[in-house]
Structure 1
Amino acid sequence: MMKKIHLSTQTFDILSNTVKIGIPVAIQSALVAILSLADVLMVSNFGKEATAAVGLASKWHFIAIMIMAGLSTASGILVAQFWGKNDQSAARKITLLAAKAGVWILLPISLIFVFFSENILGIQTTDTNVIKLGSDYLLYASPVLILTHLVIVTESTMRSSGDSLTPLFIAAITIIINISLNYCLISGQFGLNPMGVAGAALATTLARLLQIFAFYVYFQCKNHWLTTTVTDPNVDISSLKKTYKKLAIPAVASALLWASGTMLYQIIFGHIGTLELAVYSTLGPFESLCYALFFGLSVACSVIIGQNLGRQRFDTAMETSKLFTKLFALLGISTTLLLLVFQPWLLSALEMNSEQYLPLSKPAMTILSIAISLKMLNMVIINGVLRAGGENAFCLRMDFIAMWLFGLPITALAAFVMEYNFQQVYAMMLVEEVIKLGLCWQRYRKNKWLRDLTTAET
């Protein structure tokens, strides 16, 4: 009887921490997805070429953001475990390592996006109007990458140390400002000349600058531990760097592999036709919006598991993983059903129910709805459980096998050899998720992720 009471209390603690960490992250992710969707919808008034251009240019930024995600994932894993040991000095040092690494990597990438924009966009499409508009976007958004990286690393550390509300509050203000700037710059309000696609990029740049400034002011006013903690002379810096690199390199490689594969999926649809590319580009931000809640919960799962692994409470970490996998399976199925029921209203809200779009958008939305269940279960196992235990090298191998050996070749074969229609090609992307789920579940059951990464031997 006592054991059952203990498990019940433990489950309650897990759920309360999930709400505390996951809900703010979910809301913030939803706001970011809404912003991306707003970019697409606002520039859609300038034609399908503008819509496609934002989608293409955003994908290149997406690849760069995946580098940031890999670096911040590695730092977040370690910060969570060091925070579990009450070691703020090591947590701060890891944060600085991640920030510096990203700046050095992203500076040359930003320059490439500016000076070789037409060349890289030409890989995705042969439409000269789309390439010109996409180049304008990359030019005006050139400072965004480094600014975004600093924001992502800061937010990751704050969440891993248990503070999800502050990043949410600052992000919410920034996103409101961003959408307001979109309204002014894209369409040309209050006497400004309409900038179209370039206006969306400039609005994002200005908003990121304000977000960095807001974090700076907050840290100074609160005497935050990130700015006040003095490095412990007993901290082995070389050991920290080695541990961070061991996690960061496969995390970045995995993120790049996945992002490059996503780009290739878009290239496939871009060569099918501009209309097909516009549908694919519009569904992308909407899909991200659907993932927002699940992403927040997976972050909560990762933080809770990471802190328990740092304290070497392996039983609690295991119970947390079981609870979250069941929760994600249930929520994934529920979301699929809701999307299918409300499909007509959703297509109308996305302005994809016209005679031109509907033959493509309706079946694609149905396929996307079915894919949600698979993708969400994969998300919690990969990001919430395996990565929390430092299984980044396995995740790299898994992404390569599922996407590059199965998903991409089968989708390309369907498009260019079998010459299937748009919806059939779109459905072929599900192969990757099926393979991924099988590999991840097998690894999860082996329990190799139950590790304390803060010890010297790791």
Structure 2
Amino acid sequence: MLLAIPAMIENILQVFIGVVDTYFVGKLGTEAIAGVGITNLTMNVNIAFFLALGIGTTAVVSRYTGAEENDKADHAVKQSVIMALLIGLIFGSINLIFSRRILQLLGAEDGVIEYALPYFLSVAVPSVFLCVNMVLSSALRGAGDTKTPMKVAIISNFINAILNYILIFGVFSFSGLGILGAGLATTISRIISVILLVRKINSEEIKMNISIFEEWKIDFKMLSSITKISIPAALERLIMRSGQLIYGGMIIKIGTEAYAAHNIAGTIETFSYLPGMGFGVAAATLVGQNLGKKKEDEAQRFGLMSYLLSTGFMVIVGVVFYIFAPFLASLFTKDENVSNQVVQVLRIIAWFQPFLCITLVITSALQGAGDTKFPMYSSLIGIWGTRVLGVYILCIRLGFGLVGVWIAYAIDITVRGAILMIRYLRGKWKNVNIS
């Protein structure tokens, strides 16, 4: 609970940053909102790789922390930062060189591109700061500290909100920069987050050797260990994103109302993810640390307890979804047909919270052990073999509409959840070698 609750709050705050940005940019007009939205589509691809590197960092740092090999944990953090700088600069360079082409490829019209470019260049190009931010936060979580990333997220939110107002609209004699100001506010808040995280990691409480004043050397063995864990995690994210893109296109074919209802239901559903993501962080940390201590059975118990606690939270969310589905739908739309479809979907979602919890918490537990290949394979089977195929059969061929889409989703979650739980209970992940 001490690990999970700060992680849950941090996830809420990360969502809130997007809400604040959309609120302020919304004052500039619909093209500005579209510009931010289309930039975020690109950033989602970048973030998939940044998250994967964070997973590898957590797995390695938690294992060495549990084994009380602090020098190796410190060394792993430094190598992860080197990799974060490299990956962040590569993605930033690609975003800089191909900025207009990327926006055109995503289908942005000329008017939207003119709005999107300043925001895209000020957010996507310096994405190295986001990558380093995520890696440092992952390192702290691996060491058992989830409170610091939460506190930094609170400060980042506060700074982002203030800078959004000042830089977009201006104060006193400063006239404001419009949508460019929104992008600069986001990047400045990320730079400050990195500074705060570096200070914490180099404090007496958590002494990790990543000082910029000391000699930096690339350790290819350690980089290989982190990469071995990170690459399958990155592929898993890409499998999920590509699958979502494909079946999202199928939903568009049903009609505008169905697509609107799908997005509304998906937005509401994200709130049920927060407990699973928070307890997933706890599971990854505790599983990794106990494996480092050579306490394999304790590691398994911590993972299962994280799952059971998270399920309790998510079942409550599911009950709320089922009972208050009409009210929740009414918050987003007044169209009766759209609202009815949202209600149907939310009540399907409500029944499958325990299985959804498995895909979040048990996946994180396996990744914390360094077993990232199996979740990747399960996502490939679940997303492409069950969900995409299921959406095509139920939605397109049999004409079940949006209900068919979410039935396919439920089948995917159930099958994938069962596969992951069987893997976890069998315990093969206990023998994964991270070095």
Partner residue in 1 for 2:9: 27
Partner residue in 1 for 2:361: 380
Unaligned 5+ segments in structure 2 are 212-217
Mean Cα deviation higher: 103-112 or 159-168: 103-112
Q: How far apart are residue 84 of structure 1 and its match?
A: 0.8
Q: How far apart are residue 207 of structure 1 and its match?
A: 1.2
Matched, 1:244 2:220: no
Partner residue in 1 for 2:93: 111
Query: Which digits, 9 at most, give the CA deviation of each residue in 1:313-358, with x for residues without a partner?
Result: 1221222233233333333222101123344554455x44466964
- Helix, strand or coil: the match of 2:428? coil
Partner residue in 2 for 1:443: 423
Taking only the aligned residue pairs, the percentage that are identical comes to 23
Partner residue in 2 for 1:226: 208
Partner residue in 1 for 2:214: none
1:434 partner letter: T
- Helix, strand or coil: the match of 2:319? helix
Which of the numbers 49, 53, 56 marks the counterpart of 1:71?
Answer: 53
TM-score (norm 2): 0.84
8 Å CA contact 1:353, 1:361 repeated in 2: no
Matches within 5 A, 1:379-418: 379-383=360-364, 385-412=365-392
Distance 1:353 1:216 in 2: 47
Partner residue in 1 for 2:79: 97
8 Å CA contact 2:358, 2:420 repeated in 1: no
8 Å CA contact 1:33, 1:286 repeated in 2: no
- Helix, strand or coil: the match of 1:450? helix
Q: How far apart are residue 76 of structure 1 and its match?
A: 0.7
Alpha carbons of structure 1 residues 362 and 205: separation in structure 2 relative to 1, 3 Å: farther
8 Å CA contact 2:88, 2:127 repeated in 1: yes
Mean Cα deviation higher: 319-328 or 395-404: 319-328
8 Å CA contact 1:50, 1:130 repeated in 2: yes
Which of the numbers 171, 174, 182 marks the counterpart of 2:164?
Answer: 182
Mean Cα deviation higher: 387-396 or 187-196: 187-196
Matches within 5 A, 1:249-264: 249-264=231-246
2:367 partner letter: R
Query: Which digits, 9 at most, give the CA deviation of each residue in 1:73-102, with x for residues without a partner?
Result: 112111101001111111122122222223
Q: How far apart are residue 176 of structure 1 and its match?
A: 1.6
Q: How many residues align?
A: 430
Alpha carbons of structure 1 residues 408 and 201: separation in structure 2 relative to 1, 3 Å: farther
2:371 partner letter: E
Partner residue in 2 for 1:316: 298
Mean Cα deviation higher: 206-215 or 65-74: 206-215
Please report the RMSD computed on the Cα atoms of aligned residues, expressed in angstroms: 3.6
8 Å CA contact 1:81, 1:453 repeated in 2: no
Partner residue in 1 for 2:215: none
Matches within 5 A, 1:24-423: 24-44=6-26, 51=33, 53-117=35-99, 119-122=101-104, 124-125=106-107, 133-185=115-167, 192-193=175-176, 195-196=178-179, 199-219=181-201, 222=204, 224-227=206-209, 237=219, 239-269=221-251, 286-347=268-329, 351-353=332-334, 358=339, 361-370=342-351, 372-383=353-364, 385-412=365-392, 421-422=401-402
8 Å CA contact 2:202, 2:210 repeated in 1: no
Distance 2:259 2:113 in 1: 13
Alpha carbons of structure 1 residues 242 and 139: separation in structure 2 relative to 1, 3 Å: closer
8 Å CA contact 1:33, 1:289 repeated in 2: no
Distance 1:257 1:121 in 2: 22
8 Å CA contact 2:88, 2:129 repeated in 1: no
1:195 partner letter: G
Q: How far apart are residue 149 of structure 1 and its match?
A: 0.9
Query: Which digits, 9 at most, give the CA deviation of each residue in 1:260-305, with x for residues without a partner?
Result: 3334444555666777666655665554443223211111112111
Alpha carbons of structure 1 residues 86 and 401: separation in structure 2 relative to 1, 3 Å: same
2:360 partner letter: M
- Helix, strand or coil: the match of 1:227? coil
Partner residue in 1 for 2:409: 429
TM-score (norm 1): 0.80
Alpha carbons of structure 1 residues 31 and 356: separation in structure 2 relative to 1, 3 Å: farther
Distance 1:187 1:362 in 2: 39
Q: Which structure has the higher relative contact order (CA within 8 Å, separation 6+)? A: 1
Query: Which digits, 9 at most, give the CA deviation of each residue in 1:104-154, with x for residues without a partner?
Result: 233332333344445445555576655655555422312442111101111
Distance 1:120 1:189 in 2: 34
Q: How far apart are residue 28 of structure 1 and its match?
A: 0.8
Alpha carbons of structure 1 residues 299 and 389: separation in structure 2 relative to 1, 3 Å: same
Distance 1:341 1:88 in 2: 49
Q: How far apart are residue 67 of structure 1 and its match?
A: 0.6
Distance 2:375 2:277 in 1: 17
- Helix, strand or coil: the match of 2:386? helix
Alpha carbons of structure 1 residues 186 and 403: separation in structure 2 relative to 1, 3 Å: farther
